Amino acid sequence: MKAVYNLPCMNLLYKSMESELKISFQDIYLKFSEDNKFDVRYCAATSLHEAFRLVEDDDDTTSLRSVFVSYILDSSREMILLMNKSLPLMI
């Protein structure tokens, strides 16, 4: 749970080094969005807007958009309310 909680900070600190470190924060968000535990998915969803803020104009956002869609389509009322609240920050 600590990893998903700290993901926005790690994304901010190491975004510029993604290719050098051979990691993709967008893919990490995608993996957390597919987790079986609701708490993990919800925690990742609370910071998804931060990932969108860090995206450069020429970045491929396919993974982040997939995460966003999966959260919007989630059957949990809490998740839908959270995404509605964060929507202006992500569009």
CA contacts within 13 A on the Cβ side of 76 = 12
Distances (CA, A) of 52 to 7, 14, 32, 36, 44: 13, 15, 16, 23, 13
Tell me the C-alpha distance between 73 and 76, whole Å: 9
Provide the whole-model pTM: 0.86
Tens of pLDDT along 52-91?
999 988 999 999 999 999 999 999 999 999 999 988 888 7
- Among residues 44, 1, 2, the alpha carbon closest in space to that of 26 is found at 44
Average pLDDT, the chain: 92
Domain boundaries, given as residue ranges, for the chain: 2-90
